[in-house]
Chain A
C-alpha cells in the first residue's frame, strides 16, 4: 500500500485530537445536550458480553455519538457472566433516572426465562425498551480445517456421529438456538457449554475442538472474510446481507426440506423455524431500567433513533462492518412480544439442553 508522508496535517491532527479528547473527557459539562437533565452527567452503559464481541462493538460504536448528543460522559461496562444475565439484572435493578442504560440480548433473555428457577429478567416486562439496534442474525459456522465445507457435508457427518456444538452458557442465544436448530435439521448433537464470548467460541471452532458454533454474523464477519470460518446455515427466515448460505426458515428452507426426517410436516417445521426466527430476531435492544420516566425515555429514544439513523453513524457502522436495523422502542417491543410467543414452542427442548449442561 502507498503511504503518504504527513506534513502540517499531522500536527493539525494531533492538536485536534488533544482538543477533542480534552473536551470530551471534561464531560462537556457546560454543553446543553439533547436531554437537558442528563447533560454533564456520567451514564453507565451496561454490555452483557466481553470486550470484542458484537454487543461490545455496537456499544463502542454508539458511545461517542451518544456522548456528543447528550453532552454527557458514557462509560461502558462489560458484565458477561451467565450468558449476559448478570448485566441484564444490573440494568433492570438500576435507578430509573437515565444514568444507567445498556444493550440487552432480548432473545437470550427470552430463552433464559424458559428455564425453571432462572432469575433472568423478563425482557417483556423488566426494561424500558428504547429501540432496536439490530436483529440478531444467527449463523452456524465451522472452522476452515474442520473438513466440513457446507451444510451438506455437515449433515452427512451427522449420519455417523453426533455433531459437537460449542455454545456459551445458559441464557445465551447460542445455548438455546443450537438444540432447536439441530432438532429441526434432524441432527444428533452434543453441547459443550462454557465458551464465554464470541472470541472464545471462534477460537474453539478454529482449533477443531467442536464441529460447529452458532453466533451473530456481525461478530465474525472479519473471520469469514479472511476464510477462517465457513458459514453453513442462516437461522433466520430473512436473507442476511452479504451471506450466501442456505436458510433454515421459509417455504424453501432447510427445516421444511428435512421435516420428514424429524417426524413433522413441512408446514409444522416451517412454523417452528419461523418461531425460532422470531425469538432470534428479537434482537439487540437498547434499553433502560423499568419505570424510566416518560420524558426521559422519550428523549433517550428519540436521541438514539436520531443517532442510529444519522449519516455519520451509518458510515461509521459500515466501515466497522456492523449492520444497523433501527426500530423505534414501540416497534421493537412488538417484535419482542412475537418472540415471547415463539419461545413457548421450545420450552421442552431448552429444558433438556439445560439438564445436559448441568449434568
Chain B
C-alpha cells in the first residue's frame, strides 16, 4: 500500500479514537439504528435532517457522523425479516429466504448470530477493498459498463437454475412470472406503457417492498392461521430453542470461501450507481446456492442462505463509496445525500479529496467500519430477547405481524394502494406455498430484471454503433464463463458422480 495512504489511515484512526471524536460514530450509529427501525424513516432522511444542523461543524466531525449514518442502518432490518418474515426494505427480503425457516426450526439465535457476524465482517472486507483501491479508484469506478452489468444480470438469472425447488417446470414458471412482473410500467427506454391496464398505480412499475411483504409476511400470516402452529419457532420457551450465537458466528468461518466471494460480489455491485442492495443480496444468494454441493436445504433454512446475502449487502457500502469519492457520482440515495454534505463543506470528490484530504476520507471509512461493528455487536447482545419473540404464541403474534406488514407497505411510499398490492401478493404467496411453488425464483427474477433490460438495450446499441466490443472485454468473458459454468457444471458433475458410482459398483 502507498505509504501516504497508510500514514493517512493511521493518523485518521488516532483522531477517530480520540476523545471526543469517538462520540460522533457512536451517536451517528445509534441515530441511524433508531431511524432505520422507525417505519417511514430511513438513514437517508436522517442525513437530510442532519445536513443543515452540521453546516458549522468542522469537516472531520461531519465525516465521522455521516460515515456512521451510512453504516449504522444496515444490519437491523434483517432481524425482522428473519424473525417474522417481514422485509422492512426490499434488500431484507433475501435474508428471510433461509433466515425465517431457521426461526421456524428454533434456530433464530444461530441465524441472527450468523447475520451479525457476516454483516460486520462483510463490511470490513468491503472497506479493505475500498482502501486497497484508493490509488486506482478512478479506474475502478469507470472500469465496468453496460456490457458488464448485462452479464452480471445474466449470471444472476442463470443461478435460478439452482433455486427452482422440487419442480423445474414450476421453478421456471415462477421465474417467468417474476420477469413478467418486472416489465409492468413504462418501458425505461421508449416510455411506452406495458401491462399497466390503464391503472395509474402501475405506471411506475411494481414496488418491491409491498410485493415482498405480501409474498412472504402476509402469506406467512395466512399459513400460520391455517396451519394452527403454536408459535413461530414451534417452541414455547427460549431455552428449548436449538442453535446458538456462537454456532452462527462460527458458520462464517466454516464457509469462509463463500463469505469472501459474497463480499467481493457486494463490493463490485456497490460500485455500480443506481443498483440497490437487493441486487447484491440476491446475486450472492444465487451464487451460494449455485456453488453448494448440497442445495436441497436452500429455502428451507440453510445457514449459507443467510451468510452470503448479509456479507454482500454490507460489503456494498464500501463499493458504493468508490464512485462517490473518486468521481462525485453517488451509488444510491444514501451516498447522494452524503455527497451533498461533502459539497456543502467544500470537499470536492476526485483527485483532490483522495490526495490532499485523505485523512478526512479515512475518517469516513473508519466511522463506517465502527458503525457496522457497533450495529452487529448490539444485534448480538440483543439475540436472546429477540429470539424470545419467536416463542410468543401465534394467536398473539399474528395480529402484530399482520399490522407490521400492512403498515410497512403503506408507510413505504405513503400509498394505500400498496397495501392492496401486498394483500394480492400475500394470496399469491400463500397459494404458491401450498402448491409447492418456490417463491425464490420469482423474487430473484423480479429484482434482477430491470438491470438486465436496461443494459441489454444499451449494450446492443453500443455494439451496433461499434462503441464497444462485447467479446473483447475481460470481465464480460469472465462472467460469461461463470454463466456457462452455472448452466452446465451441475449436469457435468452429476454425470461424473454417477459414472464414478457406476465404476465402483
Let me know if A3 and B359 touch, CB within 8 A.
yes
Supposing A79-B204, A81-B186 touch, asked if A192 and B462 sit within 8 A by C-beta, the answer is yes
> Within 8 Å CB of A14, what residues of B?
23-24, 27
B328 within 8 A of A: yes
CB-defined contacts of A195 to chain B, threshold 8 Å? 458
A52 and B204 contacting across the interface, CB-CB below 8 Å: no
Tell me the bound Cα distance from A199 to B49 in angstroms: 24
**Nearest 10 pairs of A and B residues by beta carbon:** A226-B350, A51-B336, A82-B186, A52-B330, A170-B191, A52-B336, A222-B328, A82-B191, A51-B333, A10-B20
Check B349–A222 contact: CB distance below 8 A: yes
Contacts of A187-211 to chain B: CB distance below 8 A: 190, 192-197, 199-200, 202-204, 206-210
B5 within 8 A of A: no
**Residue of A87, A193, A222 most packed against chain B (CB within 10 A):** A222
Name the distance in Å between A349's Cβ and chain B's nearest Cβ: 17
Please tell me if the beta carbons of A51 and B332 are within 8 angstroms of each other in the complex. yes
B340 near A57 with CB under 8 A, answer yes
Residues of B contacting A239 in the complex (Cβ-Cβ under 8 angstroms): none
Question: Which stretch from B57-65, B90-98, B234-242, B296-304 is at the chain A interface?
Answer: B57-65
Using an 8 Å CB-CB cutoff, how does the interface string of A1-45 with B read, 1 for contact, 0 for none?
Answer: 101111100110110111011001100000000000000001010
Residues of B near A228 (CB, < 8 A) are 327, 350
Residues of A within 8 A of B38 (CB): 25
Given contacts A82-B188, A89-B200, A171-B191, are A20 and B343 in contact (CB under 8 A)?
no
A207 touches B48 (CB 8 A): no
- One of A125-133, A244-252, A284-292, A315-323 contacting the partner: A315-323
Give B435 Cβ to nearest chain A Cβ, in Å: 33
Contacts of B461 in A (CB 8 A): 192-194
> A58-66, A178-186, A260-268: which one contacts chain B?
A58-66
Chain B contacts of A57 at CB under 8 A?
336, 340
A221 CB to nearest chain B CB (Å):
9
Does residue B399 face the partner (Cβ distance < 8 Å to A)?
no
Inter-chain contact B20/A11, CB cutoff 8 Å: yes
Q: Which one of A10, A190, A203, A208 lies within 8 Å of B323 (CB-CB)?
A: A203
Alpha-carbon distance between A115 and B190 when the two chains are bound, in angstroms: 11
Q: Does A337 contact B (CB under 8 A)?
A: no
- Collect the chain A residues with CB atoms within 8 Å of residue B49's CB: 20-21, 24-25, 64
Q: How far is the CB of B2 from chain A (nearest CB, A)?
A: 19
Interface residues of A in 84-122 (CB under 8 A from B): 85-87, 89-90, 93, 112, 115, 118-120
Query: How many whole Å from A290's CB to the nearest CB in chain B?
Result: 15
Contact between A42 and B414 (Cβ–Cβ < 8 Å)? yes
Chain B residues within an 8 Å CB radius of A5 = 15, 18, 21
A316-B191 CB under 8 A given contacts A18-B27, A202-B327:
no
Identify which of A204, A222, A320 contacts B350 (C-beta below 8 A): A222
Q: Within 8 Å of chain B (Cβ to Cβ): is A327?
A: no
Besides A3-B58, A63-B48, 11 other A-B contacts (C-beta < 8 A): A10-B23, A17-B31, A25-B35, A60-B336, A81-B204, A169-B190, A193-B461, A194-B457, A199-B273, A199-B330, A319-B343
* Alpha-carbon gap, A5 to B51, bound state (A): 21
Query: In whole angstroms, what is the CA distance A89 to B205 when docked?
Result: 13
**A307, CB-defined interface residue at 8 Å:** no
Provide the residues of chain A in CB contact with B60, threshold 8 Å.
3, 6
Residue of B nearest to A99 (CB): B414
Contacts of B27 in A (CB 8 A): 14, 17-18
Is the C-beta of B203 less than 8 angstroms from some C-beta in chain A? yes
Chain B 16-59, CB-CB to A under 8 Å as 1, else 0, gives 00101101100100010001001011001110111111110111
Is there contact, CB below 8 Å, between A61 and B458?
no
Q: In the complex, how many angstroms separate the beta carbon of B501 from the nearest chain A beta carbon?
A: 50
A163 to chain B, nearest CB (A): 11
Interface of B toward A, CB cutoff 8 Å: 15, 18, 20-21, 23-24, 27, 31, 35, 38, 40-41, 44-46, 48-55, 57-61, 65, 141-142, 145-146, 185-193, 200, 203-205, 273-274, 323, 327-330, 332-333, 335-337, 339-340, 343-346, 348-352, 356-357, 359-360, 413-414, 454, 457-458, 461-462, 465, 467-468
Q: Does A215 contact B (CB under 8 A)?
A: no
Q: How distant is the Cα of A214 from the Cα of B353 in the complex, in angstroms?
A: 26
A169-B188, A316-B55 given; A226·B328 CB < 8 A: yes
Measured CB to CB, the nearest residue on chain A to B337 is A60
What is the number of residues of chain A that contact chain B, defined by CB distance less than 8 Å? 82
> Does A225 interact with chain B (Cβ within 8 Å)?
yes
A208: min CB distance to chain B, Å: 8
| Also in contact, A86 and B274, with CB within 8 A (given A1-B359, A206-B327) | no
Which residues from B are CB-within-8-Å of A77?
413
Known: A60-B337, A85-B186, A358-B190. A320 touches B344 (CB 8 A): yes
Other-chain contact of A60, B48, B188, B274 (Cβ < 8 Å): B48
The interface residues of chain A lying within 8 Å CB-to-CB of B186 are 81-82, 85-86
Taking the closest CB of chain B, its distance from the CB of A96, in whole angstroms, is 16
How many angstroms from the CA of A14 to the CA of B25 in the assembled complex? 11
- Which residues from chain B contact A159 at a C-beta distance below 8 Å? none
Contact residue among B35, B45, B328 (Cβ-Cβ distance under 8 Å from A223): B328
Q: Are the C-beta atoms of A320 and B23 separated by less than 8 Å?
A: no
A75 within 8 A of B: yes
Residues of B with C-beta under 8 A to A157: none
Contact A13 B61 (CB under 8 A): yes
- A154 and B340 alpha carbons, distance in the complex (Å): 32
> From residue A87, how far is it (CB to closest CB) to chain B in Å?
8
Q: What residues of B have a CB within 8 angstroms of the CB of A79 in the complex?
A: 204
The interface residues of chain B lying within 8 Å CB-to-CB of A63 are: 48
Return chain A residues, CB-CB under 8 Å to B142: 203, 206-207
Report the separation of the CA atoms of residues A208 and B143 in the bound assembly, to the nearest whole angstrom: 11
Given the known A-B contacts A192-B461, A193-B189, A209-B146, are A17 and B414 also in contact in the complex, defined by CB atoms under 8 Å?
Answer: no
Residue of B nearest to A12 (CB): B20
Q: Is A324 an interface residue (CB 8 A)?
A: no
Q: Are A3 and B458 in contact (CB under 8 A)?
A: no
22 A–B contacts from the bound complex (CB under 8 Å): A1-B59, A1-B356, A6-B61, A7-B20, A10-B23, A10-B24, A16-B53, A51-B332, A60-B48, A60-B336, A76-B48, A81-B188, A170-B191, A194-B457, A196-B274, A200-B274, A203-B327, A223-B327, A226-B328, A226-B350, A319-B343, A319-B346
